Amino acid sequence: LDHPGLPRYYEQYQNEQMLCVVREYIEGEPLSAYVRNRQLSIGDIASIARRLCDILQALHTHEPPVVHRDIKPENIIVRPDGDIALIDFDIARAVKAGSGTDTVFFGTKGYAPPEQYGFGQTDSRADIYAFGVLLRWLVTGSERANGNISIDPDMQRIVDRCTAFAPQQRFSDIAEVRK
């Protein structure tokens, strides 16, 4: 995977018990700290969202497609120049055509979609779900839907469609989300 928003691969070591992959260290601060220390405008949020869509597009169009499965503020690094990078591929997986479910259930509570808990195989729509939760968090400060917090109706429509319970009701791909 070669993209400026992803840590570069350097080398890997493997023995009978483990696989160790050495990747580039990304300088910067996690999005969670970045947001806490700044007042982001809707333009700032849209810029971060578009750049994350570009990174996810590179993952999801790879052959085979790669699903990160742990999109959350702590796994997005804001570099000193303001660009972003997606890190922590510990639970990422390549999509396997014909597989009914994932073999291991992982994810961060609040960001992981229902299918990551045994309701089906994860595909790019799992990352779209987490992207929607992240977008809600960026706009409202909360991962959870809250009827007491009013946001721009277009933004609400995007968040709602990204976070639909059924994967078939979400955007079909991240390019559609970005558009």
Q: Which runs of E-coded beta strand occur in 83-142?
A: 84-86, 93-94
Q: Which of 2, 70, 160, 173 is catalytic?
A: 70
E strand or H helix at 77, and its extent?
strand 76-78
Task: Give the HSE-up count for residue 49: Cα atoms under 13 Å, Cβ half-sphere.
Answer: 28
**Is 70 one of the catalytic residues?**
yes
Catalytic residues: 70
